[in-house]
Amino acid sequence: MKKADDKIKKILEKQISLVKPSDEEIKGINEETRQIVGEIEKNLKKKKIKAEVFVGGSLAKGTLIRKKDYDIDIFVRFFENKDISELNQGSATPILKKAERVHGSRDYFRVRRKNILFEIIPVLKINHPEEAKNITDLSYFHVSYVLNETRKNKKLAEEIMLAKSFCFSKRVYGAESYIRGFSGYALELLVSHYKSFLGFIRAVNKEKRMIVIDPKKFYSNREDVLNQLNESKLASPIVFVDPTFKQRNALAALSSETFSKFKTACSLFLKRPSEKSFEDEKIDEKSFNLILEASTNRQEGDIAGSKLLKFSRLFSGKLERYFKIKKSDFSYDGKKSGRLYLKIEKMKSIIYSGPPINKPERLLAFREKHKNVFIKKHVAYAREKSLSFKLFFNKFLKQEKKVMREMGITRLRVIKR
């Protein structure tokens, strides 16, 4: 056991050196961030708009991991809800006139400087979490909570980096609807609760039932949490009562499918620890015999990704009528395209259900339409040869043309067959 623990320790120590940004990198990111913040503050003051600007996300919490491109959150904290419209109109600062507007429950903006994508997010300045009008209004409290935790445990920030790196490599990092995985804040909370990355994955690997965590003891016990929280917040396999807001499950976005994938990865790492566990997990295209690529005209990011995932599920559902799907996967490029990976096997025949035998007119029409009809439990059925993929694909494009248009799908092509 000690030998295995020593091996894991060495792997994690090396991984920290790989994922932790250097002081020089952080310095460069901070300089770019200060410039953006300074420009925003200057123009807010010029227009006499009452607002505070603060840096949030991983940079503010000290949990940023090294990447080719960085995402930095800048929050503009308005004193009054009506003033947020100033930012949304893009008039608060010239920066936003050239920025990309991202539509959501509350619009925000994206500005790229070098290898940094800044997200400028309007929020409401509130004194208590209950006053939040939008989930982003809680961001200030999230930063404060995580910073307080990392101050108590000096190694905690590095442990969080390990968790983020591990989840990122397994493609389970992100609360977006096309991933339904772990948000950065969720991982910060989980690692803080379990004290380390290793403690976190060991606990997850061992637990067989729904995990319920309430670090601030807002509720009297596990059952009280499950009874008091809104049912919509209990659909995830982990319920983590947000320590900054008792009515929120910080893991509500996590799906059972993504969590199962994460648990498998945890189990494998604990059984056979390897540096490869932290390498980006690429989809093995050779293991699939059908790859399709779909494009959308929807807004890049969560909206486009979720539409492409929804379309992929529609396609798979229709395909299952004629083919057995033995394996599937989905990827989204973050822009306008997504790929559906399938390993399929053609069915020899398919069964069509028909009318009951006490409906002679319908039964006659069914017999005229199908050759191989048989009766089972007083209901007519027909056995037909399955379609080839080419025939199915053309049929799908014709029948689902309207649906594809409504979903914003502009192109669908076969990459491999």
Residue 291 shares a structural domain with residue 374:
no
Q: How far apart are CA 33 and CA 59, in angstroms?
A: 10
Is 13 inside a domain boundary? Answer: no
Asked if residue 130 belongs to a domain, the reply is: yes
On whether both 252 and 191 belong to a single domain, the answer is yes
**CB neighbours (10 Å) of residue 403?**
12
Q: List, in sequence order, every residue forming a beta bridge with 347; answer none if it has no partner.
A: none
> Within 13 A of 274's CA, how many CA atoms are on the CB side?
8
Provide the domain limits for residue 400: 285-348+386-416
Same domain, 165 and 81: no
Query: How do the pLDDT tens digits run along the chain, 417 residues long?
Result: 566 688 999 999 999 999 999 999 999 999 999 999 999 999 888 888 888 999 999 999 999 999 999 999 999 999 877 777 766 665 556 777 778 888 888 889 999 998 999 999 999 999 999 999 999 999 999 999 999 999 999 999 999 999 999 999 999 999 999 999 999 999 999 999 999 999 999 999 999 899 999 999 999 999 999 999 888 778 899 999 999 999 999 999 999 999 999 999 999 999 999 999 999 989 999 999 999 999 999 999 999 999 999 999 999 999 999 999 999 999 999 899 999 999 999 998 889 899 999 998 999 999 989 989 999 999 999 998 889 999 999 999 999 999 999 999 999 999 999
Q: What's the structural domain count of the chain?
A: 4
Question: Is 11 inside a domain boundary?
Answer: no
CATH code for the domain of 291: 3.30.70
pLDDT at site 79: 86
Q: Are 61 and 117 in a shared domain?
A: yes
Name the one residue in this structure whose structure tokens are 């123009």: 43
Q: Do 264 and 292 share a domain, yes or no?
A: no
- The pLDDT of residue 409 is 97
Write the CATH number for 134: 3.30.460.10
Say whether both 101 and 64 belong to one domain.
Answer: yes
> Which of 116, 131, 148 represents a domain boundary (last residue)?
148
The reply to whether 6 falls in a domain is no
Instruction: From 59, 19, 20, select the one nearest 36 (Cα to Cα).
Output: 59
Residue where a domain terminates, one of 115, 148, 181? 148
Which of 127, 148, 169 is a domain's end point?
A: 148
User: What is the reported pLDDT for 48?
Assistant: 85
Whether 392 and 371 map to the same domain: the answer is no
Whether residues 74 and 140 fall in one domain? yes
Beta bridge partners of 339: 293, 331
Residues 182 and 274 in one domain: yes
Q: Taking Cα atoms as reference points, which of 249, 116, 232 lies closest to residue 175?
A: 249
The gap from C-alpha 244 to its chain's centroid, in whole angstroms, comes to: 22
> Residue 9: inside a domain, yes or no?
no
Q: How many CA atoms, within 13 angstroms, populate the side-chain half-sphere of residue 250?
A: 25
Instruction: Confirm whether 354 is domain-assigned.
Output: yes
Residues 262 and 329 both lie in one domain: no
Q: Tokens representing 367?
A: 């017999």
Cα 263 off chain centre by: 16
Same domain, 258 and 328: no
Tell me whether residue 209 is in a domain.
Answer: yes
CA distance linking residue 216 with residue 213, whole number of Å: 9
Indicate whether 309 and 329 sit together in one domain.
yes
In a domain? residue 3: no
pTM, rounded to two decimals? 0.89
